[in-house]
Each structure stands twice: as C-alpha cells, then as structure tokens.
Amino acid sequence: MTEPPENLAFPPPRDCPYSPPPKLAELQRDAPVTRVRIWDGSTPWLLTRYDDVRAVLADRRFSVDPARPGYPARGPASRARRRGAGSFITMDAPEHTRLRRMLIREFTPRRIETLRPAVERTAAELLDNLTRQPQPTDLVGAYALPLPSIVIAELLGVPYADHEFFEDRARVMMDNSASGDAIRAATADLARYLGTLLHQRRTHPADDLLGRLGAQQVEPGNLSRAEAVSMAVLLLVAGHETTANQIALSVAFLLDNPQRAEAFRRPEGPPAGAVDELLRLLTITHTGRRRVATADVPIGGGITIRAGDGVIAAADIANRDPAQFPDPDRIDLGRAPNHHLAFGHGEHLCLGHHLARLELHIALTALFRSLPGLRLATPTEELPFRHTHPIYGIDHLPVAWEG
C-alpha cells in the first residue's frame, strides 16, 4: 500500500549522484501511480512507469499551461517565471503547433549535420585553450558551458562576446532560489537585448536564425515581434543551459567509470547509441515533466486522473523501467533499441534534440581523445551537483590531466 501523500515529499533525495532517488524505483515497482506532496502543499499524481509517462506526454488532455489551476509548479521561482506571456513550450495546441512549425526547419537532422564542422572546430579551439590553463581547471567554465553557448549564439546570430551577459541572465532565470522580481528582471533584460538584435536585422539583414525569423515570419505578419523575441529567449537559454549540464554530468560519470570512457577514445568513435545511453541513464530533467489534466483520464492500475489534477511524469525513473530497458541500471553504450524520454515525447519533444546529440557526441569524443589522462581533481562526493535546480548537472567540475 502506498504511503499517505503527506509522507511522500517530492522530489525525494538521491543516494547516488548518477541515479534517480531509490524511492522512485520503489514506487515504480509498488505504486507507479501515486499522489505526492510538493512544496506548496498540493498533491499531484506522480507517474514512474515508462508506458504511463510516455502516454501522458503524448495525450493532449494533459496541458502544459502553467496558468491553469492545478498545474504543479516546481517552486515559487517557477511560478514567478511562468507569469505573463510565456514561450510556446508552455502553450497547448493549436497555438503551440503554430509557433513550433515556424522553427522546425531550423532543427532538422540535415540542417544540424551542416553544423558539424563548426562544432568540431569550436571543441578543438576550446580544448587547445583548456590545455594551456593551470591545473586543476574547471571543465564547466572552460569547455562544457562555452561549447553550446558558442554554437547557439552563432546559430541565432547573437554575438558570443556578450556571453557573460546572456549566461548570467539565463542562470538567474533558471534559479529556483531566485526571487520572482530577479527572474522577471533577468527575463526582461534578455528580451530587450534580443529584441534589439531582431530589430537590427531590418536594416542589416543576416543569414542567421534571428534574421530568417524576422524576414520570413515577423515581416509578413505571421509572427508578432513579442512572439519572436520570446522564441529567441527560449532558444538561447535552453540551447546552452541544458547541454552544458549534460556534457558536465556525462564527463564526471565517465571519469568515474573509466572503462566506459575508453569507447570515446577509439579512432572509430563510440557505438552509435552511446550518447543516447548517457542521456537515458543521466536524465537531467530530474523533477519531472509537469502537466495538468483537462479531462478525466483513466491510467494504469485502475486509477482515474480527474480534470484539474496536477501530474508529474518522472522521465528519469521511467528511463530506468525494467519493462522497457532490460537491466536498466547498467550502462550499455550499444543498447538498442533505446527509446528513452530524456527529450520528452509527443508534441513537446525537445526541438533541439538533434543539436544536443551532435554537441554531446563531439564534446565527449574530442575531450577524451585530446586528454587521455583526464581525471577528476575533486572526489565525486565533493562535486557541486545541482540537486535543487530544475536542470540537474554540475556547477563546477575540477579536472586535471597528464601529458
């Protein structure tokens, strides 16, 4: 029998920095659909099995709109962050569909593959700079963060020289400990900055995403200027914050499992599914994909989720479901098939998932080939893992190397 909701605080603590909390595995086995209590005292449903999580993420009867009553916000900062006009990822169809379609051609596999030489060049330059620094060096600041920041800045048409400004604002926007006023101020700063760049494209056209968005969508009247700026804010923030943490977390994990790191040093590269296995095992959306039901929906185990009920679809533990992934706690870099939920599922599947995979593959192979003697310079238990942040990862990763 499931414990009463008041005894099930979500999210529960981890035992291992590379694995979901053991309590989630327990719930997946014994009570895969259960109520939990979150920060504001509300008791949304928690889903922990792969099939249930996948079904909810594909079901339009579960809304992503945080303004709806019953939506399970991640905390006070998250609630403040969602006030006012949001980005299209917090919209339901048909509005979400209309706005997302304007960006799809920018993130097709063919379009992303054309970025490979630039990403490889950026990784090589960053590693060259890294090896000139005194040891130990923070891999996040020297490599994991600047790599995706440079890539998304170039894709959008944002001067990377301004990276300290936009990285700082993004950090505040994603900080659960920041005040509502600080989050709104950071968001406004970034919106003004990107709005200025968008406006400049009218007199100084450029073949970048901001330029194409302005010329193809804003000028013909398909998209308002405010909507375009909101899109740009989302792409800039999500385009570096998530990937930077996935890179850092993956490097730490591989350095703690050196026999697996060898796969990234081989001349032929790691198995085709290696990056997806790291994404499955180290899912950084560790506080769940949030939804609220707009209708009564029956779910597994004879439970009906009622209209207005909040739902937390726990993708991290769903990616460890033994019914979907045999021996789920074991890393198998050649695992196939591997239909993990690290990027979500359904209409709200992460728009940049092809780019994230490309960056992660290049970042890891370039790093481990260039620095075969790479090692952690701080014990794992002393690393600053982001347990309370909505995006899991590591804030600083001190490393050293030989040769």
Encode the chain (403 residues) as per-residue pLDDT tens digits: 344 445 689 999 999 999 999 999 999 999 999 999 999 999 999 999 999 999 999 999 999 999 999 999 988 777 665 554 568 899 999 999 999 999 999 999 999 999 999 999 999 999 999 999 999 999 999 999 999 999 999 999 999 999 999 999 998 888 877 888 888 899 999 999 999 999 999 999 999 999 999 999 999 999 999 999 999 999 999 889 999 999 999 999 999 999 999 999 999 999 999 999 999 999 999 999 999 999 999 997 789 999 999 999 999 999 999 999 999 999 999 999 999 999 999 999 999 999 999 999 999 999 999 999 999 999 999 999 999 888 999 999 999 998 6
**How far from 212 is each of 106, 155, 203, 207, 351, CA to CA, in Å?**
10, 11, 13, 6, 17
Stretch (H or E) spanning 305: strand 303-305
Name the nearest CA neighbour of 164 among 141, 187, 182, 181. 141
Determine contact, residues 378/398, Cβ cutoff 8 Å. Answer: yes
CB-count burial class (<10 Å; 0-12, 13-18, 19+) for 203: exposed
173 token code pair: 């926007």
User: How far is the C-alpha of 287 from the C-alpha of 389, rounded, in Å?
Assistant: 9
Strand pairing report for 45-47 and 310-313: parallel
**Phi and psi of 33, rounded to 5°?**
-125, 110
Please give the DSSP secondary-structure letter assigned to residue 392. -
User: How far is the C-alpha of 129 from the C-alpha of 308, rounded, in Å?
Assistant: 52
Contacts of 124 (CB under 8 A, 6+ apart): 366, 370
User: How far is the C-alpha of 281 from the C-alpha of 317, rounded, in Å?
Assistant: 9
| Structural domains for the chain | 5-400 (1.10.630.10)
Determine contact, residues 284/249, Cβ cutoff 8 Å. Answer: yes
Name the nearest CA neighbour of 245 among 382, 114, 342, 378. 342
Single-letter amino acid code for the residue at 246? Q
288 token code pair: 């769940």
